[in-house]
Amino acid sequence: MFKGLGGFGDMAKMMSAAKDMQAKVAEMQENLTSITVTGEAGAGLVKATATAKGELTALDIDPSIFVASEKEVVEDLILAAIKDAQRRAQERAQTEMTRISQELGLPADMKLPF
């Protein structure tokens, strides 16, 4: 197609690859909103569910922990469950980005999006 244009043929390939990469990254970013992770605290007494983008979508609290004198413990468990869900969301997002990088033939330690 670009024969005889020197390095411009390679440049066209690179531009095409960059567009493909951009499309895959955009698709992956969109998919992160449908992937959910659940963080837990207190041996599962409090569970927080979030998308892989880190958006909290649900909170499940076992009613047995609702004791007025234990208010601070309950608050700590809720925060711990949310932080666990956020950590898991970050890990899942990184896993998805690594997968996309490998599919595109990029180095595994390359950070996406750029």
Domain boundaries, the chain: 8-103
Return the closest-CA partner of residue 38 out of 85, 75, 94, 104: 85
* Number of other CB atoms surrounding residue 59 within 10 Å: 14
- The set of residues, in sequence order, having a beta carbon less than 8 Å from that of 32 and lying 6+ positions away, is 51, 52, 53, 92, 93, 96
56 pLDDT more than 50: yes
Q: What is the pLDDT of residues 14-39, one digit of tens each?
A: 787 778 878 888 888 888 899 999 99
Architecture label for domain 8-103:
2-Layer Sandwich (3.30)
pLDDT band of 9, cuts 50, 70, 90? low
- Residue 62: pLDDT band with limits 50, 70, 90: very high
Q: Which of 23, 21, 63, 58 is nearest to 39 (CA)?
A: 58
Cβ atoms < 10 Å from Cβ of 32: 18
Q: Per-residue pLDDT averaged across 51-80, rounded?
A: 93
More confidently predicted of 79 and 11: 79
pLDDT value at position 21? 79
